[in-house]
Structure 1
């Protein structure tokens, strides 16, 4: 496994009021959440990157207003059309 190092000054800890561990965990989560939001990784992989289980990761996304449902416009349109077709067949 590779490790990414991101330098930051002590000043940012004073500004955020976080411990180094809290700040670094939040950064891990935000990077993973953004990659998930962009569709670059699955929710499971993003949770792993964030050092969390999948369900708590998905629950935490809402705090940052990131949708748990990650569909492309094309996939969403396809899902809607398939749901309409199933509803007509019932």
Structure 2
């Protein structure tokens, strides 16, 4: 696993009311949710990035009201046409 180091001012943690380990978990989850919402990563990969099980990640998406299933209209129409 790769390690990423980010230098942050000490004032960040009290301002966010988070301990450093909580902050890291929150950053990973935020990034994973954002990248999933942008359709840059799959649900499975996003869950891995967040350090969550897939079920936990789906729960997180639901809590944030982000669609769990991402299918474009064009993809759906292609599937319908192939089914004919």
TM-score under structure 2 normalisation? 0.78
SS at 2:11's partner residue? helix
CA RMSD of aligned residues (A): 2.3
The corresponding residue for 1:8 is 8
How far the C-alpha of 1:63 sits from its partner, in A, is 2.8
C-alpha spacing 1:74/1:34, structure 2 compared with 1 (3 Å)? same
TM-score under structure 1 normalisation? 0.74
- The structure whose Rg is larger is 1
Q: Distance in 2 between matches of 1:6 and 1:61?
A: 26
SS at 1:8's partner residue? coil
Unaligned runs of 5+ in 1: none
